[in-house]
Structure 1
Amino acid sequence: MNPKALSFDKFLKEEEIIAFERKDFDDEDGTVVYRSYIKSPLWDMPLFVILDNSIYSVIRLVVGPEKVNAQNLQAINAFINRENATYKNYKLYVDEDNSLYLDCIYMCADDAFEPALMYALMTSIVDYIPESIGDLKSAFESVIQ
């Protein structure tokens, strides 16, 4: 049983939010993943809410799925460094699958979990994406001269 997931389910139902698909994992951490998308002018960006029995709850956005390559890596890293220095609540990184990710971590014990706060963090990410589209597009389209 995952108390945070139960609380999040209740919140989604009460707020009539139907944008998420839920998947339960049969693991020792009681992991539950909620999946949705953020539509952007670049492409649809998969969004995941990962809740388990640890103190960490994760909102993970796949900003650039398999979009990082040798030609744009330098521009992507410059974008990441600038954004990570500016935004305390988000961390951008490139993983081994050549994708650009944005993580937002919400730390709390099960009994202190506030689904409305989790949703507010997601909303801030949804608001952030349009602000960053120009810089993201430039970085992804960058070519080493």
Structure 2
Amino acid sequence: MLLTVGVIYRFFVIVLFAITIAWATLMQTMYNEKIFELVMGTRNYLAAPIAAIFLLAVFCKRVTEQGAFWGLVGGILISICGMVLKFVYKPQSCVEDNMCPVMCKLNYLYLIIILFILTLLIILGISKFTDPVPDQHVSAA
């Protein structure tokens, strides 16, 4: 039996859909938070590095490919660490326990701003130490 790409694609979509349902149920029971806040927080953790790259690519000619790549990798790694810390230290335990990191006590919107700024700094720092893109390859449309 020959499996086509469409069949494999449908299979993985179904598997990811099942994982999403299980994850949402787990988060709802563990945190007693609204699903909307969890979805928005997770999405925004991953959107902040992408937004930083996009804005710098549009408004700064000095950004290089290496800076954008490592900025995206660094931003996503920092956001994954933040999501893991939020998962390990539940919001209820952070109120009672002073041992949790400062990151757990902040609202996710503040963390996204910090993540955005850190990603900007990573991109600009790496772009500063790499060769700039020649002007003939940069279009100002």
Greater strand proportion: 1
Greater RCO, CA 8 A, separation 6+: 2
TM-score of the aligned structures, taking structure 1 as reference length: 0.31
Larger Rg belongs to: 2
